[in-house]
Structure 1
Amino acid sequence: MGSTAGRATAVDGVLDVPVIDITDWHTGTDAHRAALATAVDRAASTVGFLQLRGHGIPEATAQAFADALDAFFALPLEDKKQLRPPSPDINRGYTPPRTEKLSLSLGVPAAAEDLFEAFNVGSEASAYPGLGLPEELYPANIWPSVPGFRQAVEEWCARAGGLARQLTGIFAHALGLEEGYFAPFTDHSLDVLRMNHYPRPERETVLDRDQMGMGAHTDYGIVTVLWADRVPGLQILDTRGDWHDVLPEPGCLLVNLGDLLARWTNGRWLSTMHRVLPPTDDAGRVVRRRSAAYFHDGNWDAEISCLPGCVPAGTEPLYPPTTVGRHLSEKLAGSRAGRLNENAPREAARLRAACDD
């Protein structure tokens, strides 16, 4: 099956991203679960994004997490730079503004560096004793000495990670698989939480036309759980090549699918390209924006090849088999280390064909 033609609708340029309530997934009737799985399949096939209600993360947890982000990003730049990893190949610690070009992960050069700054934490090898996991893929986290930061971030990771694992069960059901199908691919998952900040300029600035808050990219792994301010900036690319604004509904988390699910489903489900324009107010002035993406990416050594039933008889899969570790390394070498990823020709073609409004 190839990618389904885009059937998502936009009102005043803002894309209608389906809102799905998963409150009763574990306790609902078979009919209720089937209807929910059908709604997820429709969103995954037409938009690649959905808005999640009933996610179970308390508002107090989200507020404590947002406060922790504010406290960290308010530090002086030189203090934050002390928390950079020893190498850009290590996906941890602080990333200063204008040091990444996300479009390179798709094999497309960017005219200018992205504006955002970020801080990453993720799965550590020490959390899985006895597995001999590679330290370069599961490195130790780098923590700032900001009171309460680590506690709030680890709590958010636990909640978002639990939600991501619940979603993989719903995904399996929607694809006609056993609910635990993805568990062997994710029991030592390479999960990363990336906290993003688009700072307000200290003085009025005129931005280059090609300047991006965050360049166009697809997410690399299985599923992303995204917390974000209700500030304009996030845009997603539909299957006709048009960019649309996306704003999360109050109380909802945005969820989008990554490359590995697109590979698994042979393009039936979409790993949707998205970007962040420099956030601006109604007067066109650059404003502050925050977001946090929890990437549930799978085991480094898991092999990803097309799922049963996703390749029509007499055809070949759209994507060759790969491993999670190999795929992530190629993508991260582009975005973080500035090396053009030459193994994303389909995605690069989509970006080059996009209508850049």
Structure 2
Amino acid sequence: MENEQLIPVVDFSAYSLDRDQPDQETFQVLIQEVFKAFSTIGFVYLVNTGISREVVKDAFTKSENFFKLPADQKKPFTREKDNFGFVSIELEGLNPERPHKDLKEGFNYVPSTISAIEKAKKHGISPKFLDSLHLLFTQAERLHQRIVEVMGRGLNLQDPMMFVKAHNLIGRQGNGSTLRSLFYPPTSDYPTKEGQVRCGEHSDYGGITLLFQDSHGGLEVKQRNGNYIAAKPIEDAVVVNIGDLMQRWTADKLVSTKHRVLMPFSEEGTKFVRQSIAFFGHPDDEEQIVCIDGSNKYPPIGSNEYLQYRFSLTY
């Protein structure tokens, strides 16, 4: 069976960023297809979203320029408690059962963290780099809000805009949504440790994630039978998946699925840089996450409380 049959490809043109209102003739089909994907494998490729190819490309280019700076030039911008900044190689271990930390670097962009952005510019991070991330953050935010509206309608919520309202502060103080630029250096440049991977098996923390991939790929998604399948890159597609907080919120109606990035297997593959950029959508900090069906299958928890708990396990 082809990969695309396992991770569905859904045409989002009925509610793309190019439209002021959804196209009513095809909107219900979109709602049904997205709900089916999120309630089964928890992942979907969205095409025709309206996200600008040029904006994505520019964010990748500016990110690569930053990551290729010498380590001592990146270190001053190390991520702090505000979640803004540089994450050095082998700092994160997304699967704590792995014997070694992940072989990747990252840069977290949180636009509400004004002091950190000013600090970054003061100490030499190119404003063009931050501007490129900001442009992509802005477009990803708009698409995110349309996706969660589609999800609310697929779940037949009494208020289909409930998820949209719960993410009202994205990009401002009081919301932890983050754009993460990830850089996987050529493994030929590093002595790989036994059992080490580029990104350990994990499920995402928050509501939903929007992922922009490069052409090299590497992402693998766990099926219900326990096998992993490749989420191969599709040009201009956005990979979207459910996070743990959304699974709790929907009392398991939507599923958060583990995924990973292993080391490249071929000798040629070890020479490639891999990049991806992920938009992690989180409900507003003060939002109480209560099962939408009233079942209390999971105890209520604050959005930010849950996010900080997951950070404590990762770093």
- Note the aligned Cα RMSD (angstroms): 2.1
Q: Counterparts of 1:215 and 1:171 in 2: how far apart (Å)? A: 28
Q: CA distance change for structure 1 residues 27 and 15 in 2, over 3 Å: closer, same or farther?
A: closer
1:326 matched residue in structure 2 = 305
For 1:24, what is the secondary structure of its paired residue? helix
Aligned residues: 300
Structure 2 distance, partners of 1:40, 1:236, is 17
Contact 1:14 / 1:244 at 8 angstroms: preserved in 2? no
Work out the CA distance in 1 between the residues paired with 2:5 and 2:67.
30
Is the CA contact 1:164–1:225 (under 8 Å) kept in the aligned structure 2? yes
Secondary structure of residue in 2 paired with 1:102: coil
| Structure 1 stretch displaced more, 19-28 or 212-221 | 19-28
Residue 286 of structure 2 aligns with which residue? 301
Residue 93 of structure 1: which of 82, 85, 90 is its match? 85
Among 148, 152, 155, which residue is 1:168 paired with?
Answer: 148
Q: State yes or no: 1:81 paired with 2:60.
A: no
Instruction: Quote the Cα distance in structure 2 between the aligned partners of 1:72 and 1:44.
Output: 34
1:123 and 1:175 map into 2 onto residues whose CA distance is: 31
Instruction: Provide, for residues 196-219 of structure 1, a one-character-per-residue CA deviation record: whole Å limited to 9, x for no partner.
Output: 00011464x663341110111111
Find the partner of 1:247 among 208, 232, 236: 232
Structure 1 residues 34 and 215: alpha-carbon distance in aligned structure 2, compared to 1, 3 A threshold: same
3-state SS of 2:257 partner? coil
Aligned residue number for residue 22 of structure 1: 12
Call closer, same or farther: CA 1:286–1:322 in 2, change over 3 Å. farther
The Cα of 1:263 is off from its aligned counterpart by 0.8
Distance across 2 between alignment mates of 1:15 and 1:280 = 24
Structure 1 position 16, deviation (Å):
2.8
Name 1:7's counterpart in structure 2. none
CA apart distance, 1:39 = 0.4
Amino acid in structure 2 at the alignment position of 1:185: A
SS at match of 1:285: helix
Please tell me the residue identity of whatever aligns with 1:156: L
Give 1:265 shift: 1.3
Change (3 A) 1:286 1:215: farther
Aligned residue in 1 for 2:58? 64
**Alpha-carbon separation, structure 1, partners of 2:5 and 2:82:** 35
Structure 1 length as normaliser, TM-score? 0.78
Distance 2:245 2:161 in 1: 17
Task: Work out whether 1:216 is the aligned partner of 2:201.
Answer: yes
Rounded Cα–Cα distance in structure 2 between residues aligned with 1:15 and 1:211: 30
Once the two structures are TM-superposed, the CA of residue 285 in structure 1 deviates from its matched residue by: 2.9
User: SS of the counterpart of 1:152?
Assistant: helix
Can you give the 5+ residue segments of structure 1 that lack an aligned partner in the other structure?
1-9, 127-138, 337-357
Partner of 2:172: none
Q: CA deviation at 1:248?
A: 2.3
Partner SS, residue 14 of structure 2: coil
- For 1:22, the aligned partner's letter is F
For residues 173-203 of structure 1, the C-alpha deviation after alignment (integer angstroms, 9 at most, x for no partner) is: 1111233212331112321011100011464
Are the equivalent residues in 2 in contact too, given 1:102–1:335 (CA < 8 A)?
yes
* Matched-pair contact (CA < 8 Å) for 1:222–1:258: yes
Following the alignment from structure 1 to structure 2, what is the Cα–Cα distance between the partners of residues 284 and 125?
37
Paired position in structure 2 for 1:53: 47
Name the structure 2 match of 1:4.
none
Distance 1:15 1:273, change over 3 A: farther
Identity %: 26
Do the aligned partners of 1:93 and 1:121 also contact (CA within 8 Å) in 2?
A: yes
Counterpart residue number, 1:287: 272
Amino acid at match of 1:165: Q
On the 8 A contact 1:258/1:271 being kept in 2, the answer is yes
Q: Does 1:194 align with 2:180?
A: yes
Q: What is the aligned partner in structure 2 of residue 275 from structure 1? A: 260
Q: Which moved more, 1:277-286 or 1:111-120?
A: 277-286
Which stretches in structure 2 are left out of the alignment for 5+ residues? 16-20, 170-174
Among 156, 171, 182, which residue is 2:163 paired with? 182
The letter of the residue matching 2:168 is D
- Post-superposition Cα deviations, 1:125-145, rounded to whole Å, max 9, x if no partner, equal 66xxxxxxxxxxxx7445352
Q: Which residue of 2 aligns with 1:350?
A: none
